[in-house]
């Protein structure tokens, strides 16, 4: 028989390795992969009791699966949440959290700086069902105050945001949201469960893309929704069971194994990201480098209040007029020899993206300008390579991009 975990509180690194592990009767060391869609019953009576809910037994992997359940238990323990449901992707998690809670006539207030597909759900999908989506500038508390002076059903926000690493004063916004009658859903992908605890800061529901740091090795897609037992069982679960955004047991198993090294990876990536932010801020080609734990970040004090680390992403703007900045950004990306041009993040491999022409192309120039995304903006997801090699690669690519003075002479 496998041991149960001690009842004393365990620290994150321990929970990441041990949390949720539920050994089968074979007493395997590593979490077992139950690659099965269905389950069999001893008898018709047991099937009846399972469907009636009087006996605990797996029924079907759209409802639950032992490998997926281990991931859910591990994530809940890490987050300090009562319950978790894993989903096929991060977007399935956001979609399920919103659509399970909302109905026609409801009002959603959201920060403008959202992951592209989250922005599409609030601006385009929800209105089709008669749900009003309203955006505010997440860093401006006065706008939240105004928007939440009338009743709302749900607040959705991302902090730090993608790609400009803007922060939302979560405790203040949560207080306003609750007064307006809204639940607060936080997309905590950029902070990871290790660097920020939204539930302790006033949020009701936390969503993740497990595709990012949790797998962290570019292999599988996954997502998770965490909240109170009551909300998860009564609001979220009927929606997920019947609409079917279930996570594959194989992907759950990959994410479980990824979690075992999450703290080691995130800590190393944060250290490198901080060093790279310092390096970039010294370069003449860089007009502005943003990193939440750099003193030059406009919300540095808030970042220190909400987070225990600055995260694994650094965003910077190359200087120049729009055309010059875009050309410089492309020269920079194309000159990188080590760092990949790719739109994922939180991966062990460092990667850059040019948001204006990729992830944030569809939102249009006006909305990009409002978010501070210029044609010279580069988002760098810092990986696990030696930081000195990364800085060498960045230095050479910045040389290729050219200084503002050299470009002005072009």
Ligand X SMILES: *Cc1c(COP(=O)(O)O)cnc(C)c1O
Interface residues with ligand X (CB under 6 A) are 89-91, 115, 118, 158, 162, 187, 189, 209, 211-212, 221, 223
| CB-CB contact of 46 with 224 (8 Å) | no
Q: Which is nearer to ligand X, 14 or 343 (CB)?
A: 343
Q: Which is nearer to ligand X, 89 or 272 (CB)?
A: 89
Give Cβ neighbours of residue 347 (< 8 Å, ≥ 6 apart): 212, 216, 217, 218, 381, 383
Q: Which is nearer to ligand X, 68 or 397 (CB)?
A: 68
385-389 long-range contacts, Cβ below 8 Å, gap at least 24? 385/338, 385/349, 385/350, 387/271, 387/272, 387/275, 387/276, 389/338
Give Cβ neighbours of residue 387 (< 8 Å, ≥ 6 apart): 271, 272, 275, 276
Alpha-carbon distance of 63 to 69, in angstroms, equals 10
The token duo for 319 is 């200087």
Give Cβ neighbours of residue 213 (< 8 Å, ≥ 6 apart): 189, 192, 262, 265, 266, 269, 312, 346
Q: Which is nearer to ligand X, 207 or 324 (CB)?
A: 207
Q: Which is nearer to ligand X, 223 or 402 (CB)?
A: 223
Q: Which is nearer to ligand X, 91 or 329 (CB)?
A: 91
Strands 107-111 and 154-158: parallel
- Looking at beta carbons, which residue is closest to ligand X? 90
CB of 109 to ligand X, least distance (A): 18
Q: Which is nearer to ligand X, 138 or 404 (CB)?
A: 138
Q: Which is nearer to ligand X, 209 or 317 (CB)?
A: 209
CB of 211 to ligand X, least distance (A): 4
Give Cβ neighbours of residue 405 (< 8 Å, ≥ 6 apart): 284
- Write the DSSP symbol of residue 385: S
CB of 89 to ligand X, least distance (A): 3
Q: Which is nearer to ligand X, 306 or 327 (CB)?
A: 306
Alpha-carbon distance of 367 to 373, in angstroms, equals 9
> Per DSSP, what are the bridge partners of residue 206?
186, 226
Q: Which is nearer to ligand X, 312 or 317 (CB)?
A: 312
CB of 179 to ligand X, least distance (A): 26
CB of 205 to ligand X, least distance (A): 14
CB of 115 to ligand X, least distance (A): 4
259 phi, psi to nearest 5 deg: -60, -30
CB of 251 to ligand X, least distance (A): 10
Alpha-carbon distance of 358 to 363, in angstroms, equals 10
End-to-end, the C-alpha distance of the chain in Å comes to 73
129 to 121, 124, 143, 235: CA distances (angstroms): 11, 10, 25, 18
CB of 117 to ligand X, least distance (A): 6
The token duo for 295 is 């003193």
CB of 88 to ligand X, least distance (A): 8
CB of 347 to ligand X, least distance (A): 11
């Amino acid at each position: 028989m496998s041991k149960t975990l001690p009842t004393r509180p365990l620290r994150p690194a321990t929970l990441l390795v041990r949390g949720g592990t539920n050994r089968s009767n074979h007493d395997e060391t590593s979490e077992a992969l139950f690659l099965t869609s269905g389950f069999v019953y001893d008898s018709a009576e047991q099937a009846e009791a399972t469907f009636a809910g009087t006996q605990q037994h797996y029924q079907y992997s759209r409802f639950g699966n032992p490998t997926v359940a281990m991931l859910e238990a591990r994530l809940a323990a890490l987050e300090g949440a009562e319950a978790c449901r894993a989903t096929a992707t991060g977007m399935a998690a956001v979609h399920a959290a919103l659509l399970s809670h909302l109905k026609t006539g409801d009002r959603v207030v959201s920060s403008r700086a959202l992951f592209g597909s989250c922005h599409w759900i609030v601006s385009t999908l929800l209105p089709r069902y008669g749900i009003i989506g309203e955006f505010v500038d997440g860093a401006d508390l006065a706008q939240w105050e105004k928007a939440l002076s009338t009743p709302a059903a749900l607040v959705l926000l991302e902090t730090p945001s993608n790609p400009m690493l803007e922060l939302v004063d979560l405790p203040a916004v949560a207080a306003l949201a609750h007064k307006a009658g809204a639940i607060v859903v936080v997309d905590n992908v950029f902070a990871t469960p290790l660097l920020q605890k939204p539930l302790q800061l006033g949020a009701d529901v936390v969503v993740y893309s497990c595709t990012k740091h949790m797998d962290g090795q570019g292999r599988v897609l996954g997502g998770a929704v965490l909240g109170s037992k009551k909300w998860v069982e009564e609001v979220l679960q009927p929606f997920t069971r019947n609409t079917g955004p279930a996570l594959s047991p194989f992907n759950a198993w990959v994410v479980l194994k990824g979690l075992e090294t999450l703290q080691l990876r995130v800590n190393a990536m944060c250290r490198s990201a901080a060093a790279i932010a310092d390096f970039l801020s010294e370069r003449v080609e860089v007009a502005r480098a943003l990193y939440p734990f750099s003193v030059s970040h406009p919300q540095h004090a808030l970042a220190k209040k909400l987070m225990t680390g600055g995260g694994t992403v650094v965003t910077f703007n190359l200087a120049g007029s729009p055309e010059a900045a875009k050309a410089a950004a492309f020269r920079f990306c194309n000159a990188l020899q080590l760092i990949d041009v790719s739109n994922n993040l939180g991966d062990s491999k460092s990667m850059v993206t040019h948001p204006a022409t990729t992830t944030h192309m569809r939102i249009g120039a006006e909305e990009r300008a409002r978010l501070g995304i210029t044609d010279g903006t580069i988002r760098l997801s810092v990986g696990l390579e030696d930081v000195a090699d990364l800085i060498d690669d960045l230095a050479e690519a910045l040389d290729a991009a050219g200084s503002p003075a050299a470009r002005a002479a072009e």
